[in-house]
Amino acid sequence: MFKRLIRIIRKMTHFYYRLLLQRMPVCSEIKRFKKDSLFSNKPYKHYAKYYILYKRVKKMKPRYVLELGSGISTLIIGYALKENGKGTLISMEENSEYGKKVMSIIGDTYPVEMNIEGTVQDVYKGIKGDRYKKIPQKEYNLIFIDGPRTQDIDLDAFYILEYRPKAEVLIDNRKKTFDAFKSRFNSRFNKIINIGYINI
């Protein structure tokens, strides 16, 4: 009964955020992205994530955003940065063909730098997980974790937070990764929309 109630609340929540998005110019770009054959068969009902990510970038006006795992979020972040009139998105992707496809859909009008990079297994202070082999070192204000494609803990943000301790982190539907962070950082997890917040 409880799980069924959670599912109903989630549907209502995503419907609400979808209505909010439909009032924003970024919605037409999301629709354009989803029309591509690579993504048209996927449900993409994460409207809460789209809205929260877009609004966070708009409010923060970050100089650099790090995205771990490209996709429709690449478009949304890039769109928000372009509206801000400043900022660059550094997007990490381990699948070369997928990364190139994402950029071909987005085009060259947004401040996005796509980085194709392999991943390795690693241990960070006793925490086992995966990370990208190399990430450009920038003064990141916001980190969005939606990759690499693994069920293990993503360790990249731990390394970034060593030199950017006040960077904000959004974690998309990765409870293991969130749990690894929560004992060390100010954090909370929204079970309805499955997003974790670090330093926010």
pLDDT in tens, 9-35: 888 998 899 999 999 999 999 988 988
Buried b (16+ CB within 10 A) or exposed e, 6-44: eeeebeeebeebbeebeebebbebbeebbeeeeeeeeee
Sign of CA dihedral 5, 153, 53, 112: negative
The token pair that represents 134 in the structure block: 């190399």
pTM of the model: 0.93
pLDDT in tens, 114-155: 999 999 999 999 999 999 999 999 999 999 999 777 778 999
H-type helices in the chain, by residue range?
2-22, 26-34, 37-40, 47-60, 72-84, 96-106, 156-163, 175-182
Structural domains of the chain in order of their starting residue, each with its CATH number: 2-198 (3.40.50.150)
CB atoms within 10 A of CB 116: 16
Q: Which strand (E) or helix (H) includes residue 127?
A: strand 127-132
- List phi, psi (to 5°) of 195: -125, 135
pLDDT in tens, 89-111: 999 999 999 999 999 999 999 99
Question: What is the reported pLDDT for 44?
Answer: 56
